[in-house]
Amino acid sequence: MEDVYKKIFWSSYLFTILFNYSHAEEQLPTITLKAQTKNTINLNTLGNLEISDIPFSINNYTHDLIQKQQITTLAQALKNDPSIRTTTNEGHLNENFQIRGFSVASDDIALNGMYGMAPISRIPTDILDSITVLKGPNALVGGIAPTGSVGGVIIANTKRADKNLTQLNTSIEKSGYTKTGIDISRRFGAENQFGIRVNSTYGEGEHTIKSMKDQLKLGSIATDYTTDKIKINLDAYSIREHRKNGSPAMVSMEKLTEVIDAPSGDKNYFPHLDGKTSSDFIGLSTIYKITPITKIFGGIGYAEKEYEGHIFGTRMILKNTLGDATSQYYRTALNEHNTTFNAGITTESNLSKSHHVIEFRVDYLNRNYWQHAKATSSAFTTNLYNPTTIGTMPTTYPTLLPYGNHSFTSYTFTDQISFLQDQINFILGARYQEMNIKNTYSDTQYKANKLSPTLGITFKANDLTSIYASYVEGLSQGVTVDNILDVNYGKTFKPFQTKQYELGLKYKTVDWFNTFAVFQIEKPSTMTTAYTDSQYTQLTTDGANTRSRGLEWQFNGKLSEKINLSGNAAYTHTKIIKASENQGNNVYGVPKLTSSLNLEYSLFDRAVINFGTQYVGKQYLNNQNSLSLKSYFIMNSGISYKVTMFKVPTTINLNIDNITNKKYWAGIFNSNYAIIGADRNYKLGLTFNF
């Protein structure tokens, strides 16, 4: 099959060159410096809004940035903001995040605003047009995430047929991993009412660390029918990933009394690992204008996802400061079928001196999945600095059993009110969420509902400055106590409501855009205390609370016609306010200080160099605050050069990540597990625009 894919790509490439050779004009293209973020963002229930009018802190990473930095997965894009922490390694098959001190799991990424539809574990950027990140909880925009994440709302926006395009991309990385992709988009019809975009990618080779082999097969299609009255989209993707002979590792120091030096980022601790993932999706959506100010909309989506083998659990447990460690190979399995739909109506009205945009919608998601009852494993010993090659994958496959069948239904009402010629804008909204949770593996079930209100106000002091304030909530599933030795065994606590208060200022000129934000988030949870009784040993209650407070500054703009500058700085303090233990301590894995600075310089019309830095401050390794990881500073660089090859406009991108090849602990997965920082990497890519 691999040979077939290769033949398809190279045959397509040669055919396209020959076809276009006599038609293309020999004209050298020029590079125009572009912003990394868009001015207008689609926020589901709130529709398309100017960033200046949004009373929340928001980032949007464009396709231009993705191509220029040769970003291959969603996590690599989010690393442009070091205050968004990745809690799994560079190159890991699972990509999990932490925003403003709280987690966002890979299962809780929204595809075009829909939960449950994104690819399993991680998202290749080959299918993406942009990535939107709404910092902090926001039940109004996102609803309840399938696994209860409240750190933020991450929306992966897929490519659309918004222009005519014939593009071939090919790249190679330092280790030898090569990738080739074809991206074709067309609009046709008497009024360009029909659109189709087809995207296909094949990647294979040694990747990220020594001897680890990755294979990627991907195909996607986006079609639409668009007129002044109606828009119909039909989207689908199919993704297969196969990893063997290695994985990045997360390292536990729970048994140590000090943090030891990080190893180089290219070491391979799992040379016999094997794992596969697959994801398939199809979705249909439509918008119909009943009148110029009233429209109805609806959508439906279905996704199937699977994994098998050693996908996660790539952990080592250190025994001493010399780096001696124990680890295990695992066989895991999952089969997941998700269905979603939404429908609603949006209308506008003028009442007295105010303008209203009112929307009512209903959303539904069913997540039905089967999972391994117990992963099979085989243990081995190794060393952090000198990995061994012993150990093998378990030969016994785990039993796949029904695990969960969860349904989420919500009803959302929003009223966006503007006064004084849009000088003052209010967002009033509420989402009523119903959940039906069936944990088939533990034979427990519960139903619950909750109302999550939202209030936001934006005041435009002048054409340049807007000041905003907002109150939003995030919602997580309640917890059922499943320990038979607990006093509250079998009890299900009500859904947890996370609350966020935010104040901010946005300042926009012709060349610059700045966002300043101050926030506080309060997240409740359960806590367990010891209990002495002839029958019970512990007591679980719902009185725990964690609080995060912070300041953020984001900016991007032009220093001159030749120089673009962007960056951010954040101070985040996440603290355990109430708990059965470690009360008053800082939460692990949340650095107080993070910052980044990215500079683009146009050497001449066809070449742009870029240079970026990232600083991440000290972070505690556990909630006891007994161990901490040192701060670190990383530098990246690249060049983008446009030429004409075979009369075909071509962009050459060369990027170097971690220029100094620094050895460092990048972050933290769970308590006590440190993530090994990525090794220096070179990436060379060619983009042919026919």
- DSSP per position, 186-217: EEESTTS-EEEEEEEEEEEEE-SSTT-EEEEE
Handedness of CA 257, 263, 268, 274 (dihedral sign): positive
Using a 10 angstrom Cβ sphere, with 0-12 exposed, 13-18 middle and 19 or more buried, the burial of residue 622 is buried
How many other CB atoms sit within 10 Å of the CB of residue 393?
A: 18
pLDDT of residue 443: 82
Q: What is the distance, to the nearest Å, from the Cα of residue 672 to the centroid of all Cα atoms in its chain?
A: 23
| Distance in angstroms between the alpha carbons of the first and the last residue of the chain | 27
For residue 505, which amino acid is it? L
Residue 8 has pLDDT above 60, yes or no: no
Residue 536 has pLDDT above 80, yes or no: yes
**What number is the average pLDDT over the span 172-194?**
96
Query: If residue 459 lies in a helix (H) or strand (E), which one and from where to where?
Result: strand 444-460
Supply angle C-alpha 573, 576, 580, rounded to 5: 170
User: Could you read off the pLDDT of 426-476 as tens digits, one per residue?
Assistant: 999 999 999 999 988 878 888 999 999 999 999 999 989 999 999 999 999
pLDDT of residue 38: 55
Distances (CA, A) of 502 to 279, 377, 433, 552, 615: 37, 46, 23, 11, 24
If you ran DSSP here, which 8-state letter would residue 310 be given?
Answer: S
User: Could you read off the pLDDT of 123-162 as tens digits, one per residue?
Assistant: 999 999 999 999 999 999 999 999 999 999 999 999 999 9
CATH number of 2-689: 2.40.170.20
DSSP string, 122-140: --BGGGEEEEEEEES--HH
User: Could you read off the pLDDT of 293-331 as tens digits, one per residue?
Assistant: 999 999 999 999 999 999 999 999 999 999 999 999 999
29 and 606 Cβ atoms separated by less than 8 Å: yes
Query: If residue 66 lies in a helix (H) or strand (E), which one and from where to where?
Result: helix 63-68
pLDDT of residue 40: 81
**CB environment 128-160: b (16+ within 10 A), e (fewer):** bbbbbbbbbbbbbbbbbbbbbbbbbbbbbbbbb
Domain boundaries, the chain: 2-689
**Residue of 622, 624, 635, 623 whose CA lies nearest to 677:** 635
Reported confidence tier of residue 2, pLDDT bands at 50, 70, 90: very low
- Indicate the average pLDDT of the chain: 92
Distance separating alpha carbons of residues 390 and 329, to the nearest angstrom: 11
Q: CB-based contacts of 325: which residues, under 8 Å, 6+ apart?
A: 251, 316, 317, 318, 319, 381, 382, 383, 384
Distance separating alpha carbons of residues 138 and 116, to the nearest angstrom: 17
Reported confidence tier of residue 15, pLDDT bands at 50, 70, 90: very low
SS3 141: helix
Q: pTM higher than 0.85 for the full model?
A: yes
Half-sphere exposure of 355 (CA within 13 A, CB side): 10
pLDDT of residue 16: 37
User: Could you read off the pLDDT of 260-291 as tens digits, one per residue?
Assistant: 999 999 999 999 999 999 999 999 999 999 99
**What number is the average pLDDT over the span 485-511?**
94
If you ran DSSP here, which 8-state letter would residue 259 be given?
Answer: P
Quick one: tokens of 681? Answer: 């990497």
219 and 190 Cβ atoms separated by less than 8 Å: no
Whose tokens are 């769970």? That residue is 670
Whose tokens are 């089967």? That residue is 370
**What number is the average pLDDT over the span 212-225?**
98
**What number is the average pLDDT over the span 376-388?**
97
SS3 17: helix
Quick one: tokens of 391? Answer: 């150990």
Q: What are phi and psi of 219, to 5 degrees?
A: -145, 140
Residue % of the chain over a pLDDT of 70: 94
SS3 489: coil
pLDDT of residue 230: 97
